[in-house]
Homo-oligomer: A and B are copies of this chain.
């Protein structure tokens, strides 16, 4: 963030009801009360941090209307109804500055095929490639060095960041956001073993990414063998995630970084997978299934499951096993002691 706002400008952005104190500082950053430096804005979002306000070095602080206390020298309080909401409003304002809406049009260095259809309000940035038959919807933005293959379709209001690849025939619906380096429509991993060699099975299906999906940097979504790989509406995928061919991901799921999902698996709606979780092929995770980081799941899960470990078990069972596992040294000693006692007991009984 490279911002420079006066306290008065910020008071305007957040619709402050009143102020206390003054600061001559230009505000250049946002930080928590504890880590803020002069020139930073901070905020009291949670009443339990109230005591931190008196000690903070922030120059400008968003506080609730009922906040009790006085600013320090060269420090200003801005009183707002809801400091967290006010901060979100400010961040949205800064976001516009970081990522200004570009002017529509096609950059002269982009290579757009004559048969591609780019909506008048769309922006095709420098060094993008848009192949024959591809469509770019209204208001969508290909930032730079984006590849859109033959007959691929990008809906309206999408934002495709630098270095993304949307391969032939794949479809992004409206308001999809791809972080840099995302690959959509790489071939599924399918071979048949014939005479000691792996012969490629053609991968001729496509990928459909529904509305309001976001996908993280350098993640990869394979096209289907045939039919479709689907990422459901509102699902959010983090960085370096692998989604195999013919996977069907439901709506509003969360996949944390480095998750891998093998081919032909289905995630129902609202599934949440922790980082580095690995999901086997040809299974179904029921609605709302949750799994911890590094979990390995190889079988269907009922709706609402909460799993952990490899192989995955219900969270509480896995937690209990972990605790018992750590008591193994003691258990071995107890058994040894029993063996000795039994030896003696039976000796004395004879």
> What's the nearest-Cβ distance from chain B to residue A295, in Å?
9
**Of A5-13, A14-22, A219-227, the one with at least 4 CB within 8 A of chain B:** A219-227
Chain B residue nearest to A31 (CB atoms) is: B227
**A137 at the B interface (CB under 8 A):** no
Q: Is A95 a contact of B345 with CB atoms below 8 Å? A: no
Are A218 and B216 closer than 8 Å at their CB atoms? no
Q: Which residues of B contact A180 (CB under 8 A)?
A: 147, 165, 167, 183, 186
Quick check: A280 and B293 within 8 Å, CB to CB?
yes
- Please name all residues of chain B whose beta carbon is closer than 8 Å to the beta carbon of A298 when the two chains form the complex: 293
Contact A220 B216 (CB under 8 A): yes
A299 interfacial contact with B, CB 8 Å: no
Contact B240 A91 (CB under 8 A): no
Give the residue name and chain of the B residue nearest to A206 (CB): B1
Question: Which residues of A from 139 to 153 have beta carbons under 8 Å from B?
Answer: 143-145, 147, 149-151
| Contact (A254, B191) CB under 8 Å given A31-B226, A198-B236 | yes
Q: Is the CB of A144 within 8 A of B126?
A: no
| Smallest CB gap from A113: residue in B | B126
Instruction: Contact check, A244 vs B257: say whether CB atoms are below 8 A apart.
Output: yes
Q: Is A123 an interface residue (CB 8 A)?
A: no
Task: Name which of A48-56, A63-71, A114-122, A336-344 contacts chain B.
Answer: A336-344
How many residues does chain A have at the interface if contact means C-beta atoms less than 8 Å apart? 109
User: What is the minimal beta-carbon distance from A22 to any residue of chain B, in angstroms?
Assistant: 24
Contact among B179, B200, B258 for A187, CB-based, below 8 A = B179
The answer to whether A227 touches B35 (Cβ under 8 A) is: yes
A298 vs B227: C-alpha distance in the bound complex, in angstroms?
Answer: 40
> Are the C-beta atoms of A341 and B335 separated by less than 8 Å?
no
Q: How many copies of the polypeptide does the oligomer hold?
A: 3
* CB atoms of B1 and A169 under 8 A apart: yes
Evaluate whether A252 and B342 lie within 8 angstroms (CB atoms) in the complex, with A240-B240, A258-B260 already known. no
Closest chain B residue to A95 by CB distance? B202
Q: Which of B145, B222, B278 contacts A145 (CB 8 A)?
A: B145
Binding site for B on A (CB under 8 A): 1-2, 29-32, 35, 88, 91-92, 94-95, 98-100, 107, 109, 111, 125-127, 129, 133, 143-145, 147, 149-151, 161-163, 165, 167-169, 179-181, 183, 186-187, 189, 191, 196-198, 200-202, 204-206, 212, 214, 216-218, 220, 222, 226-227, 234, 236, 238-240, 242, 244, 252, 254, 256-258, 260, 262, 275-276, 278, 280, 293-294, 296, 298, 310-311, 313, 320-322, 324-329, 331-332, 334-335, 338-339, 341-342, 345-346, 348-349
* Subset of 25 A-B contacts with CB under 8 Å: A1-B169, A30-B204, A31-B227, A88-B202, A98-B204, A129-B162, A180-B186, A181-B220, A186-B216, A189-B257, A216-B220, A218-B240, A222-B239, A244-B257, A258-B258, A262-B293, A278-B294, A311-B322, A327-B332, A334-B335, A338-B342, A341-B342, A342-B342, A348-B349, A349-B349
**7 residue pairs, one from A and one from B, having the closest CB atoms:** A186-B217, A30-B226, A111-B126, A91-B202, A147-B162, A217-B220, A183-B217
